[in-house]
Amino acid sequence: MVEPSLIRAAREGDREALITLLRKIETHVYRTAYYLVGNEQDAMDAAQEALIRIYTKIGSYEEKAQFKTWVQRIVTNICIDKFRRNKPTVSIEEHEMVFEGRESVEGEVMAACAAKDIREAIDRLPDHHRAVVVLRYLQDFSYNEIADSLDLPLNTVKSYLFRARQQLQVLLRDYQKGGVRG
């Protein structure tokens, strides 16, 4: 939680406060970027870009919004717009067919630790489903905070989160059926 006074000082042009503020949020920014773009290098690039944008746009932040959702909106937008181009994702509607048809392949791919399995599975989610999951689990955001961050209706956030978990669950089930993990 960043102190409101620090945010206010940064907004009012206190450069030191703004730098301090960036330091406080850089890990949160990076973490979201990391799980959204799927690798460290792109995450570094995206997070730095997000921090620069926050630096230049701090004046446009309005206190009626939560600072942390404003920050996450910036970083998710950058990640989705710039760093997810041409990344293959599964269609969430077809997940049963996709994953069942590729069971053995998935089993091979998912041969490492559980976290890596989930990371890879997350990486295959459609952008906004993945973003909802990341904000829910890496930023501990509520439905409302996710909705604010992603500019999505509350029901859409729930729908995305539920569908994403179902898909991930199917993936893990298939993986477990492969016998690697019990």
Partner 1 sequence: MNCQEVMEYMQRELDGDLGDIESAKLREHIRRCADCAEMYERLQRLSAELENLPKVTPPFSLVDAILPKLEEIDRAAAGGGTGADGQPAGAEGIGEKTGSAPAAPRRRISRFNLRVLGGVVAAGIVAGVFLVTYDRDRLEEDMIGNRALELASSGSASSDASGSSEPAIMFGTVSESFDAMNVADQYGMETSADAANAGDSSPTGQEASPTSGVGYKFVPDRGEAGGTDSGTGSGADAGTDVYASPGADAAPGSGTENAELLEAPVAQRGESGDGAEMPAVGVIQDIVDLRKELAASSVESVSPDGSYVAVFADSRVIIYDRNGNTRFEGEEREGAIAAYGWTEDGGFFRYEIRRGDGTGETYRIDPAAGTETREP
Q: What is the DSSP letter of 65?
A: S
Which stretches within the chain are classed as H helix?
4-11, 15-37, 40-57, 67-82, 95-101, 103-109, 114-123, 127-137, 143-150, 154-177
Q: Tell which residue, 7, 43, 45, 41, has the closest CA to residue 25.
A: 7
Q: What is the DSSP letter of 64?
A: T
Which CB, 25 or 80, lies closer to partner 1? 25
Min dist. Cβ of residue 83 to partner 1 (A): 15
Min dist. Cβ of residue 171 to partner 1 (A): 9
Min dist. Cβ of residue 97 to partner 1 (A): 19
Which CB, 51 or 80, lies closer to partner 1? 51
Which CB, 64 or 103, lies closer to partner 1? 103
Q: For the chain, give the longest Cα–Cα distance.
A: 58
Which CB, 82 or 173, lies closer to partner 1? 173
Min dist. Cβ of residue 113 to partner 1 (A): 10
Instruction: Please tell me the distance from the alpha carbon of residue 1 to that of residue 13, in angstroms, as a whole number.
Output: 21
Which CB, 14 or 26, lies closer to partner 1? 26
Summarize as ranges the residues that interact with partner 1 (CB under 8 A).
15, 19, 22-23, 26-27, 29-31, 34-35, 40, 43-44, 47-48, 51-52, 55-56, 114-115, 118-119, 133, 136-138, 143, 158, 161-162, 165-166, 168-169, 172-173
Residue 141's SS3 state is coil
